[in-house]
A and B are shown apart, each in its own frame.
Chain A
Amino acid sequence: MNMIKQELRMNLRSLITWCLSLLAILILFMLFFPALSDQMEEFQKVFNSFPPAFQAALKLDTITIDSIMGYYQFAFSFILLGGAIQAMNLGVAIISQEVRMKTGDFLFVKPITRNRVVTMKMLAALILITMTNLILGIGASIVLLITDAQSFDLKTFLLINGSLFFTQLFFLSLGLFLSAFLKRIRTVLPLSLGVVFFFYVISMIQETVNDPKLRLISPFDYFNLAEIMERMEYNAFYLLLWMLLIILFVLGTYWLFRRKDLPAI
């Protein structure tokens, strides 16, 4: 418990910053909704003049403005991006923290196993991600209810918000795995930004080419928002793939970290 408390303490400020930023993005998008819904036809004309591939990549073809949930789903794709960066950042940072901050000679000489350190850090990260989702979920539902309470649909809302939680868990475990795999991480942000944007670009390509094989390596599309809206459920195959990968990353993290040499200062 003492370790979880310590990790939560150290990540509290970053948690607050991320929650506020993600909420700010959402509110910003939602502020445009009344204006957009009035002039949607005009916008649609402009969007239609873009090349179809471009429209697909920017997910413009998925904006269905007749309901607020459709617009929310469009706005949420940017929350997913931000959330992925947060989760990846957390995953990479939390295990490499001791090495980066040179506090390894403090923590790892304590009477605890490496596995226990990893477990405690994972639990702390899980708590942080869950808190992010709770805060964002509550914030988003308030924003939606204020904007248009009538067309608010709880099931759609939960499915869309759930995709943030699942996507974040994916990037969290990927980040944990990478930090256990890489010999020494000096700075976290460039690494996590790089990986997340790499997958975001893949997702953009995937939107245009729509290739099932490419979708296998496109975690942003495991929980494809447009598809979720249409089918009102998650795609079972990709849910399974998601689960499998997370298990692999988590086990890999334990395996690699257990035998890792901690660099001297």
Chain B
Amino acid sequence: MNVIDINGLTKYYGKHKGIEDVSFSVEEGEIFGFIGPNGAGKSTTIRTLLALIYPTKGSATIFGKDCIKYGHEIRRDIGYLPSEVFYYEHMKVLEVLKYSASFYDNVNPARIKELADIMDLDLNKRIDDLSYGNKKKVGIVQGLLHEPKLIILDEPTSGLDPLMQQKFFDLIRKENELGATVLFSSHILSEVQKLCHRVAIIKDGTIVDIKDIQEMRRNNYKKVMLEFDGIIDISHFNLPGVTRLTLENNVMEFLYKGDINKIIQRLQGVKLANMLIEEPTLEEIFMHYYQKEE
């Protein structure tokens, strides 16, 4: 069963395009990544799902119900963490969380404490005394306290230190194991790869690809930089799987997809000054999608 079904969703802000003809589905029980650079339309899509904004065209269903028409019913089972968190500033953390809980039936009061302990959040502080990261923690607790069946996260890790990110990922994984479906939006490929089962890639308001993370890992691109201690023949690295190869002075750069051992073999006997093999940045992955379109 699909928890989210998006059908040709289009949103224009006046003449300015937000998203165009976005369609994808999120299956029950999966962690679905939603990835794209800033301004690609991730938040627009999510905000439409939550009926914070209204679509120009197209529709979406959540739990099989139209997300606009039955929005208030659907939202009973949605936990949402916005990319920027703002709360009623003069209130204490606990008051905000209790206020949030008061909108749902049967919230277990012990859960607030439990989640706050996990996220190391001080419940007695005032919201306006909190740092950005701590506000984010309030957002996390607030989004999870009513044990939602669908968790929507919009750039959740910004502002969290690595330790907290880890705790947060563990928390999300646990909720997922307990049956929650997760829609995880991010512009950081590595964190999506770490957590998600499938991923939709959005660029300039349209979905460019939907991929299985397992498969993506198999087709993983590596960015290779080699600095030679001498002159090198460019054809030496003209292997299948090598793209966007550039050579400038003694520095060679290319993207490689395939068996990494083949590259290592070619390096035998070559004198290097420096070498770097890294994950390509999201931008570079997107360059790949552009090239495919041409």
Chain A positions within 8 Å of B, measured between CB atoms, are 2, 6, 10, 101-106, 108-113, 116, 259, 261-262, 264-265
- Cβ of B86 and Cβ of A105 under 8 Å apart? yes
- Cβ of B86 and Cβ of A102 under 8 Å apart? yes
Tell me if B255 is interfacial: C-beta within 8 Å of chain A: no
Tell me if B294 is interfacial: C-beta within 8 Å of chain A: no
The 7 A-B pairs at the shortest CB distance, nearest first, are namely A102-B86, A105-B82, A2-B102, A111-B76, A110-B103, A261-B53, A111-B75
Within B259-276, the residues touching A (CB, 8 Å) are none
| Interfacial chain A residues near B87, Cβ < 8 Å | 103, 106
27 contacts between A and B (CB under 8 A): A2-B99, A2-B102, A6-B99, A101-B86, A103-B86, A103-B87, A105-B52, A105-B82, A105-B84, A105-B86, A108-B51, A109-B75, A109-B78, A110-B75, A110-B103, A111-B73, A111-B74, A111-B75, A111-B104, A112-B72, A112-B75, A261-B13, A261-B53, A262-B52, A264-B47, A265-B82, A265-B83
Tell me if B34 is interfacial: C-beta within 8 Å of chain A: no
How many Cβ-Cβ contacts under 8 Å join chain A to chain B? 68
Partner of A2, one of B47, B83, B84, B103: B103
Interface of A is mostly: loop
A262 to B51, CA, bound (A): 9
- Cβ of A101 and Cβ of B89 under 8 Å apart? yes
A74 to B107, CA, bound (A): 55
Which residue of chain A has the shortest Cβ distance to B44 in the bound complex?
Answer: A264
Which residue of chain A has the shortest Cβ distance to B51 in the bound complex?
Answer: A108
Which residue of chain A has the shortest Cβ distance to B104 in the bound complex?
Answer: A111
- Cβ of A105 and Cβ of B80 under 8 Å apart? yes
Within B46-92, the residues touching A (CB, 8 Å) are 47, 50-54, 71-76, 78, 80, 82-90
| Interfacial chain B residues near A261, Cβ < 8 Å | 13, 52-54
Interface size class of chain B, counting residues whose CB lies under 8 Å from the partner chain: 20 to 34
CB of A62 to closest CB in B, whole Å: 43
CB of A120 to closest CB in B, whole Å: 11
Which residue of chain B has the shortest Cβ distance to A259 in the bound complex?
Answer: B54
Partner of B72, one of A105, A111, A265: A111
CB of A183 to closest CB in B, whole Å: 10
- Cβ of B73 and Cβ of A103 under 8 Å apart? no
